[in-house]
Amino acid sequence: METTLRGVGVSHGVAIGEVRHMGTAVLEPPAKQIPAEEAEREQGRARQAVEAVAADLIARGNLAGGEAQHVLEAQAMMAQDPELIADVERRIAVGSTAERGVYDAFAAYRALLANAGEYLAGRVADLDDVRNRIVARLLGVPMPGVPDSDQPYVLIARDLAPADTALLDPTLVLGFVTEEGGPTSHSAILARALGVPAVVALPGAGEIAEGTVVAVDGSTGEIFVEPSQEKRAQMESASAARKAALTAVTGPGATSDGHKVPLLANVGGPGDVPAAVEAGAEGVGLFRTEFLFLDDSKQAPSEEKQIAAYRAVLEAFPEGRVVVRVLDAGADKPLDFLTPADEPNPALGVRGLRSLLDHPDVLRTQLTALARAAEGLPVYLEVMAPMVADRADAKAFADACREAGLQAKFGAMVEIPSAALRARSILQEVEFLSLGTNDLAQYTFAADRQVGAVSRLQDPWQPALLDLVALSADAARAEGKSCGVCGEAASDPLLACVLTGLGVTSLSMGAASIPYVRATLAKHTLAQCERAASAARAADSAEEARLAAQAVLSGE
């Protein structure tokens, strides 16, 4: 009998197939004491397992490329953390086996993160995955990962680690569903990059029996268990129509009455550029430069290394717009040379621009590298600061840009409610705003963006969040300046229309979402988008806002 479940849709498309569950490693090895003379051998086993897992993660990253590569390389660094390895060896020296020493050392580190308020929940999930891989290798059991199957299937898991998501084969994995995670988790972002339909934050998904046929709608978040033939035909027809619409609309982003809305790509480095170009991106709306810095958390990359990476992206968009976010370190992206190690609540501490202003040499080197990378190129370079709280922050960043001789527009990200509330003041110092809706939702609702339990509050359709977007767009319009969105909200085609109606002047997203947004915008006039935006803001919940906007845009 057909039943319907609802999670959070995070990657467009429809998948219909049999369920396969994610394999897991034995999580807790037996606790037994070893003789002192075996300690050195066990320590060697632990080191070998750590290095093997790190090498495997790096190899997976090389195969995956793009943003996934940076995420997996960061995981490999986590596996090789000197303090963790030292703790493992200390535990072995007092009688633990290699696998038990690894398990207990990782558990202790995990507890430290949890006591920090779980603001590093995304890193906790990655930490668990690294631990499971090392323990599995030591125990000689299968690694956690996607199941072996010759036939296409829908994957169900408690959560998906980046190492699993990055190498999903779209020809076999039709789509995936997770019990945990949120719309801005690593898995969600990578799913969009792969173009695999995905639904997250669906409690009880693990109880769906192996082999059960399900239909997954990655746009609405709906899961139909044992769908009827009628439902299957309906979803397949809608999916085919959607794909046809994607190929029918080409060129720059615009509403049906010609209002231009540039569609830009979010990239993590040169590896993400080919997909953005293929999708028809009109430029880059968010170049996340922190991945370059995460290659080595002990020191900043040299100016020459930075120039090479920046120039590779800038060269791909001649006459296009490339918006670079300077280093956004802290919270779930700590860097040993930059961020404090003992903050009780890192997401509310010294992160983003605050870290850079405390380390002006790091900021100066990055800005100088950007200036040199853009020399002689016909590109419209714009540089923005993350975590701007007020006009003083904006002025400090603009002054640093000018001192570095940067010939570019300077902008501020709106990720903190205070920046939205005082946007007009901030625009006295900078030339554009860019809304990071992921963090803006996190700080508006006190809801960690990596914690599935509060995913309701991370929903970018929340009317309070739309109010803050409107405030920012209105301020930019009043000052004659631009206000884009580079958060994951821009990847939702229906919400993209609402954002356009709120006065947002450009939309930036993962490359796979650009065709969906382009096709949806092309079906509606600017006036329709404005009416949909008003209807959404008048609602009292995210779901009501979505339905109200949908009713307006469908002509109901």
What residues are annotated to the active site? 186, 486
Contacts of 549 (CB under 8 A, 6+ apart): 494, 495, 497, 498, 532, 533, 535, 536
Strand partners, 409: 382
**3-state class (DSSP) for residue 415:** coil
In 330-466, beta strands by DSSP E: 380-385, 409-414, 432-435
**3-state class (DSSP) for residue 106:** helix
Where is 156: in which H helix or E strand?
strand 153-157
Vertex 162 angle, CA 30 and 207, to 5°:
65
Where is 214: in which H helix or E strand?
strand 213-217
**C-beta neighbour count of 413 within 10 angstroms:** 26
**C-beta neighbour count of 85 within 10 angstroms:** 18
**3-state class (DSSP) for residue 349:** coil
- 509 sits in the region (left: phi over 0; alpha: psi -120 to 50; else beta) called beta
Vertex 180 angle, CA 82 and 268, to 5°:
60
Of 391, 371, 387, whose CA–CA distance to 379 is shortest?
371
Across the beta sheet with 213-217, what order do the strands follow? 3-6, 222-225, 213-217, 14-21, 153-157, 173-178, 198-200, 8-11
**C-beta neighbour count of 494 within 10 angstroms:** 20
| DSSP-derived secondary structure letter, 61 | H
Of 549, 556, 520, 552, whose CA–CA distance to 255 is shortest?
520
